[in-house]
Amino acid sequence: MEDRVMAPRRNRPRILLVDDSAFMRALLREQVQQALDAEVLTASSGEEALPHALTGELDCVVCDVNMPGMDGVAFVKAVREHLGRLELPILLVTAADSKEDRVRGLRAGASDFLSKPVEPEELAARVETNVELARLHREVTRMAYTDALTGLVNRRRFLTRLDEQSGNAYGVLMLDIDHFKSINDSCGHAVGDAVLAGVAGVLQDCVPPHHLVGRLGGEEFAVLLPGLDLPAASDVAERMRAGVSGNALGGMPRGKVTVSVGVAVALQGETPARVLQRADDLLYRAKSLGRNQVCA
């Protein structure tokens, strides 16, 4: 899940330079570092560059078109299968009069072009502009998919990710803070907000990075657990329940804040919406049985 990669990037741009010429890599590296104070990675081929490009840790790629093996255009096509133009800008370096390369590059998904010989000022300006656009896009995307109070993914993002699991093995948890209305009524909404943020932190700490915790709304949370069977998903749910009740959250005494949890795993041919509904039904069963417990 790439949602944990959606945080704002470091201040220094992280640029990947791809060229089969060691001389050109060194020259471009020096120019970029001097002009932008950037962190620069290099690769000698499209094949070598591709894993770096798909990590989600780059701000921009500058890639020569003419390289043996996977050339620049093929590299762009491979990246665009996973990342859009605004997610990762790719600047292709080509001969000044190579209209054919530019057309092929644009159709493949190139963001911009640099002409040989590369002028240092133009290189810096084009890289800087594309980095700024990419960072703006990431920030807008992050805001659209993130719950502002807890920092978790919001309902829309969670349901999108859940739908993508169709046909896979996965578990879903539905969690609800017990007696949350009484916390708001007796302690005020500021304390309620602090409780929500505290619970979110505990839930996030209980899962590895490739699992997804979301706030669906109000005091209701959901967790997507790819690849887990029912016993493993139930273990995660119990860790979350115990973690919440075992901490003093939002300034409340330890044990005052608790959660009820419903656990479901996908059955053969079952839709994600149905799995989520079963987890929700089990959540309400946990509520009816006395709260602060897990039902699977």
For 110-147, what is each residue's pLDDT tens digit? 999 999 889 999 999 999 999 999 999 888 888 889 99
Select the more confidently predicted residue: 33 or 213.
213
Q: Is residue 5 very low, low, confident or very high in pLDDT (cuts 50, 70, 90)?
A: very low
pLDDT (tens digit, 9 = 90+) per residue, 47-69? 999 999 998 789 999 999 999 99
Any idea which residues carry the catalytic annotation? 219
Which pLDDT score is estimated for 71?
A: 94
Q: Is residue 37 very low, low, confident or very high in pLDDT (cuts 50, 70, 90)?
A: confident
Q: Is the pLDDT of residue 160 over 60?
A: yes
The pTM of the full predicted model, rounded to 2 decimals, is: 0.67
Q: Is the pLDDT of residue 7 over 60?
A: no
Q: Is the pLDDT of residue 15 over 60?
A: yes
How large is the average pLDDT for residues 98-113?
Answer: 91
How large is the average pLDDT for residues 7-27?
Answer: 84
Q: What are 99's two structure tokens?
A: 């209209």
